[in-house]
Amino acid sequence: MSSKMLLPGSTIGILGGGQLGRMLTMVAKRMGYRVVSWVGGPDNGPAGLADLVIEDSFDDPEALARFLAEADVATVEFENIPKPLLETIATQLPLHPGAEAITIGQHREREKGFLSANDIPCADYAVVDSADTLATALANLPERGGILKTAEFGYDGKGQLPVTRESDARQVWADFDAPRAVLEEKIDLAAELSVLVVRGQNGETVTFDPAENVHRDHILDVSIVPAQLESVLLEEARRIALHVADALNYVGILAVEFFVSGEGRLLVNEMAPRPHNSGHHTIDACETSQFEQQLRAICGLPPGSPRLHSPAVMLNLLGDVWVENDGSPDWPAVLALPGTTLHLYGKAEARRGRKMGHLNVTAETLEKALDLQNQCRRLLKIPALD
């Protein structure tokens, strides 16, 4: 469905009920919009800021009718929304980003196929659908091996298994228990980074400064901005990210995640068709946050300035922080540190590995911001940054 400019007073429809939708809701309400959040199940806390929360499942026709009646535009806050639902909504409401972009981002096989078809660099890979095709793919791996990944529903390291040329294909395939998978070469990883692209309905684009990302146990630990990498590499990452957005005919904010190999290769690892964890620093360190940029784009408004006004480090707060601090992290001590801003997601239960919030640390220099985040880590009993 064609779009039009939607001004304050309009209603934003969000599919999903996590923290990304919560932070988009906060911006939307600040700017005078209403929000309906279709969670697809019981709301565990984050969606509660919306004007209307629909908890019925995504296959409930009455819930669909209610969502369509309330919303003037639809967007997603996580990509694993059923494709038929996305396509149905797109016939009734403007959906940004579009159903094709979302479904490419939710499926590794489609994602790799899109990248290859558009000459976008990514790790060498093979599609696997049986023990026999896995055996062939294993034989073609480089010496350092590969990572077998489920085609669907993998994130934060889930649905992944390291393998080598010598792995028993039949045993691995039986244990993996997935109908289709992607076998990627294992990268000699030197660094990881991400670029957030904002693309409007008229094709106008802006990018945020690339973020240098460090993961711990396959979950994002910190994002460092500006990235401590060569400027030529960072500009190439911006160029590739813009190419991805244009090839998708994208509308909204798109996160393009990269591997930098030890040989100097810049490879697209994943695309996220939504706001992204590595863009949370923009709330406190940029003139316009990633969430306001998303709102502006889906409503047909001009993009805001992505300018970084302060070096920043974003520190993820997992449920481990509560477990290690007997349920009571020392927030007063953390907040006594200059430039430290706390963002919690309203989740009722803290569990290890669960994203509960984040800290943004800004300072006049990156060195100072890194030192402050190290102090935060010690206060919260988070393992030291490698």
Percent of the chain predicted with pLDDT > 90: 90
* 312-330 mean pLDDT: 97
pLDDT score, position 385: 85
pLDDT score, position 66: 98
Confidence of residue 2 (pLDDT cuts 50, 70, 90): low
Q: Could you tell me the CA-to-CA distances from 355 to 36, 92, 178, 218, 315 in Å, in that order?
A: 23, 33, 26, 13, 11
- Domain architecture of the chain: domains with CATH: 11-95 (3.40.50.20), 124-185 (3.30.1490.20), 189-380 (3.30.470.20)
Confidence of residue 107 (pLDDT cuts 50, 70, 90): confident
* 102-118 mean pLDDT: 93
CB 313 within 8 A of CB 351: no
Strand partners, 10: 8
* 154-162 mean pLDDT: 70
Query: Is it the case that residue 228 has pLDDT exceeding 60?
Result: yes
* 274-286 mean pLDDT: 98
CB 363 within 8 A of CB 310: yes
pLDDT score, position 348: 87
What pTM, to 2 d.p., does this model score? Answer: 0.95
Burial of 158 (C-beta count, 10 Å sphere; 0-12/13-18/19+): exposed
Query: Is it the case that residue 160 has pLDDT exceeding 60?
Result: yes
**Residue 268 phi, psi dihedral angles, 5° rounding:** -75, 125
Between 65 and 1, the more confident residue is: 65
